[in-house]
Amino acid sequence: MQGRIKRTISIGMMTVICAAVFISCGTSAVKDRATVMEIDGQIVQKEEYQMLAQSHVAEVKMQYTTDEANRKDFWTTEFEDGRPVDQLITLTTDELVEKKAIAKLAKDAKIDNDTDYAAMEESLGNRNENAVYGVTEMELSDYYEYIYTQTESELLEYLKKKNPVTEEEVRKAYEADIEDYTSDVSVDLLVAEMDADAKADEQTQIVKALAEEADVNVLTQNYQDVDFYTITLSSLNTQEGKTGVYTSRWEVASKMQQEEVSDAVYADNHVLFMRCLNRSEHVAEPFEDIKGELESQILTKNARAVIRQEVEQAEVVEKVDLEKVVLEAVQ
């Protein structure tokens, strides 16, 4: 009998403790997960809004002087371009509207990524708890961005497959922007690349060989210590861009005339000699050469237009005073 009483008391105490914990956790959860906004029926929690607001703080402050940004009342001060707190609210809300638009479209497309903030928090907790030793735990803000970036990427691929473009559409786009695909200068080059410390007589021999022979295979067979290759460079595509190790290669090549052989061009620990096989000016890149790239650009542009339309049509309902929510996070 006495044992039964003790057991009953123990169970009763556990119930009280559990109830207390539940009430405490429940109160905390309600407070932490308070809804501050709804976007197309999707809940935005207070913590979520504040987390994104904090990510835009530097972006807002960089528009002001150090003295201005360090003022105690900085966020609520009325400057010429308005109050910083209002800018912060706009940036945060705009980002959330876009994210929730992506989440809505992804759900419609049956993309199985849970973009709910609370679900992410729980998932991250399990992920960090089960992390392999030595693996750095991920912060919630990083995980949040990771999930949305992944969701957006999958959504774009879905929309591109759903809304294909015809070759006729691609060709029309090419013809409409033909100037964008027309180079001022284009040169076909035969290049000999060798160690910069090669002797002067060896370099002279290579220059002579370049002038007399244009077959890469023959040149390679005769001079096995030298790297011979052909390459086409243009003002649209210099291969390496305007900077980097081979910057001087394009600077020299762009001025070369047909059959001209260049002087030594130094690139890092190599020296190059170039023979201009052909020079063209004001020539458009062939449609077939850029069709694939252009099609991809159009598909991406169209997919992003779908997201933009969803953003513009989004219904945003503010549930609380966002200024108070933001100031609590940044002050």
Beta bridge partners of 228: 192
Judgement on whether residues 155 and 37 belong to the same structural domain of the protein: yes
Task: Give every strand in the sheet of 227-234, ordered side by side.
Answer: 227-234, 182-195, 270-284, 265-267
Q: Considering Cα of 178, then 180, then 186, then 192, what sign does the dihedral take?
A: negative
Residue 291 within a domain: no
Residue 292 within a domain: no
Residue 293 within a domain: no
Residue 177 within a domain: no
Give how many domains the chain has, as a whole number: 3
Cα(99)–Cα(70) distance, integer angstroms: 31
The CATH code of the domain that includes 247 is 3.10.50
Judgement on whether residues 136 and 67 belong to the same structural domain of the protein: yes
Judgement on whether residues 25 and 39 belong to the same structural domain of the protein: no
Structure confidence at residue 1 (pLDDT): 42
Cα(23)–Cα(29) distance, integer angstroms: 10
Structure confidence at residue 248 (pLDDT): 85
Residue 297 within a domain: no
Cα(286)–Cα(234) distance, integer angstroms: 13
Structure confidence at residue 131 (pLDDT): 61
Structure confidence at residue 15 (pLDDT): 40
Percent of the chain with pLDDT over 70: 86
Judgement on whether residues 40 and 150 belong to the same structural domain of the protein: yes
Judgement on whether residues 139 and 201 belong to the same structural domain of the protein: no
Judgement on whether residues 234 and 252 belong to the same structural domain of the protein: yes
**Residues 67-114: pLDDT tens digits?**
999 999 999 999 999 999 999 999 999 999 999 999 999 999 999 999
State in Å, rounded, how far the first CA of the chain is from the last one.
60
Cα(150)–Cα(123) distance, integer angstroms: 15
Judgement on whether residues 40 and 120 belong to the same structural domain of the protein: yes
Structure confidence at residue 242 (pLDDT): 55
Structure confidence at residue 27 (pLDDT): 40
Q: Which ranges of the chain have pLDDT less than 70?
A: 1-32, 130-136, 239-245
Number of alpha carbons in the 13 Å side-chain half-sphere of residue 294: 22
Residue 299 within a domain: no
- Give which of 217, 255, 188 is closest to 265, Cα–Cα: 255
Residue 301 within a domain: no
Judgement on whether residues 138 and 190 belong to the same structural domain of the protein: no
Judgement on whether residues 269 and 202 belong to the same structural domain of the protein: yes
C-beta neighbour count of 174 within 10 angstroms: 20
Structure confidence at residue 114 (pLDDT): 92
Q: Are 249 and 232 in contact (CB under 8 A)?
A: no
Residue 10 within a domain: yes
Cα(229)–Cα(217) distance, integer angstroms: 9
Judgement on whether residues 42 and 23 belong to the same structural domain of the protein: no
- Global pTM value: 0.72
Structure confidence at residue 10 (pLDDT): 39
Residue-number span of the structural domain to which 80 is assigned:
33-162+311-330
Please, where are the H alpha helices in 199-286? Answer: 200-212, 216-222, 247-253
Beta bridge partners of 229: 191
Judgement on whether residues 324 and 230 belong to the same structural domain of the protein: no
Judgement on whether residues 145 and 191 belong to the same structural domain of the protein: no
